Structure 1
């Protein structure tokens, strides 16, 4: 009986911690330490304007299924977010999708065929990726991360080539 009581107290503590400001404070402190290790790239103003192009002036995507067989805009944005994890430094990363030329091309074609609210944002980001330029990956990551109300895992710069190779081995090999 005492074991059950101890396990119950531990479970309540873990649940309380996960929903407390302490967890967010720890996450923010970890994000800050990552920021000290990496230099934040300059923001692409055109990409930022495309992300703010809605009538509300903030990036918000829809969960609604499309009638044309394309993924919902939420699913599409999440897949791009998962792709950026291969390039960016962040304390937490949920979801991994390997960046390949074929996947970039497929995402570009999907965006082009879509009527997504942020179609132009996705296409501009992906056009640069098709040219091998991932300098917008932190901005793409954080734009989508902010929309998801992220509080831990903000991208704070780019991984080194060695860190990216480790990441790819860990998640894709």
Structure 2
């Protein structure tokens, strides 16, 4: 009987030792991952600050749109305040607003295919709000609610919001399947909103 307790005791001590070592290894790995995430986050913040400075100092911006019939209505321009914006259509419609907001979501979502983009900035969001209030579309309340979320930095529902606009426009290819990481968004912004031809 003593032998049984000895063997059980040794086995129990070994199990505890293995559990302790496993816990320490996992804890160390988790700490390293957190440290890497903090470093990446810090780098992205630095890039975003640099991007904002570059955005305010650049004189030209390149852009693309998907709707060839109203291409000029969605071209990006730079105002005297240095804010990127789009040129609102002369006689805006609900479809114009939905298209503009759809292109804005491209900055935030992952999709197999995305065509065109409009930079989502406080200034461009204010422009969209003005368009919504001017046009008074039937879905005004929903659109203003979405813009309000974006103005407050709430992108929890941006995938569903993108797909709402995408479906409205008869989406067949390019359904949003996820949300971009900060790093992915930073890359997207640099790629689509900066003129690298200088």
Say yes or no: TM over 0.5.
Answer: yes
CA drift of 1:153 comes to 0.6
The structure with more helix, counted as a fraction of residues: 2
TM superposition score normalised by structure 1 = 0.58
1:135 aligns to 2:153 (yes or no): no
1:141-160 matches, within 5 Å, as: 141-160=162-181
Higher relative contact order (CA 8 A, sep 6+): 1
CA drift of 1:109 comes to 2.2
Name segments (4+ residues, structure 1) moved above 2 Å.
Answer: none
Is there any run of 5+ residues in structure 2 with no aligned partner, and where?
Answer: 1-89
1:101 aligns to 2:107 (yes or no): no
Q: Which moved more, 1:134-143 or 1:83-92?
A: 134-143
CA RMSD of aligned residues (A): 1.3
Q: Which residue of 2 aligns with 1:55?
A: none
SS state at 1:149 partner: coil
TM superposition score normalised by structure 2 = 0.51
| C-alpha contact 1:83 1:98 (8 A) present in aligned 2 | yes
SS state at 1:133 partner: coil
Is there any run of 5+ residues in structure 1 with no aligned partner, and where?
Answer: 1-68
| 1:72 aligned to which of 90, 93, 104 | 93
SS state at 1:143 partner: helix
How far apart are the structure 2 equivalents of 1:164 and 1:87? 6
CA drift of 1:136 comes to 2.3
The structure with more strand, counted as a fraction of residues: 2
How far apart are the structure 2 equivalents of 1:148 and 1:102? 24
| C-alpha contact 1:70 1:110 (8 A) present in aligned 2 | no
| C-alpha contact 2:92 2:135 (8 A) present in aligned 1 | no
1:170 aligns to 2:191 (yes or no): yes
